[in-house]
Amino acid sequence: MNSASDEPLEIERKFLIASDAWRAQCTGPGRRIAQGYLCTSAEKSVRVRLSGDDGTLTVKGSRTGITRLEFQYSIPAAHAVRLLELCEMPPIDKTRHIVHHAGMKWEIDIFHGENEGLLVAEVELEREDQPLEIPSWAGAEVSDDPRYYNSSLSRHPFRKW
């Protein structure tokens, strides 16, 4: 969430991974995430996520550029398990790694299951025009390609493209 404003905004850029060089900068072993959607449309999505003992419920608004409203709430892990059972599609299965580069926190998602083979790097910004040093291991930017939105990957998995 954008901390520079009182508005609950997510300003995010997304890149494919061009090489494994990010692994040298990785902090820790990564966290497995199960993620499902109770609702997805062009105007909004409601996501449930479970990672270890951490559950979250997230409501996102429609995108304007790389910005959208985002409301995120911690929920008990047991509630997340039950809500994942109500999701429209099987949950997305991924492992998230954290990499720090040039003062920015990058999240590297390695997808499993129906999205196996997809590796994506995301970075959250304070504002859309914020300067960003893109690491050498980052490939093509896919911020504006809806196929790479997690909500789209739940309906149209990478392996079926």
pLDDT at position 64: 92
Whether 2 maps to a domain, the answer reads no
Total tally of structural domains belonging to the chain: 1
Residue showing tokens 């072993």: 29
Whether 1 maps to a domain, the answer reads no
pLDDT at position 113: 96
Among 37, 73, 148, 149, which one carries the catalytic annotation? 37
β-strands 54-61, 44-51 pairing: antiparallel
47 Rama sector, left if φ>0, alpha if ψ -120 to 50, beta otherwise: beta
pLDDT at position 105: 97
160 Rama sector, left if φ>0, alpha if ψ -120 to 50, beta otherwise: alpha
In this prediction, the residues of the chain whose per-residue pLDDT falls under 50 are: 1-4
Whether 100 maps to a domain, the answer reads yes
CATH code: domain of residue 94: 2.40.320.10
β-strands 67-75, 104-111 pairing: unpaired
Residue 149 is a catalytic residue: no
Please, what is the average pLDDT of the chain? 94
pLDDT at position 114: 95
Q: Containing domain of residue 133, as a range?
A: 9-160
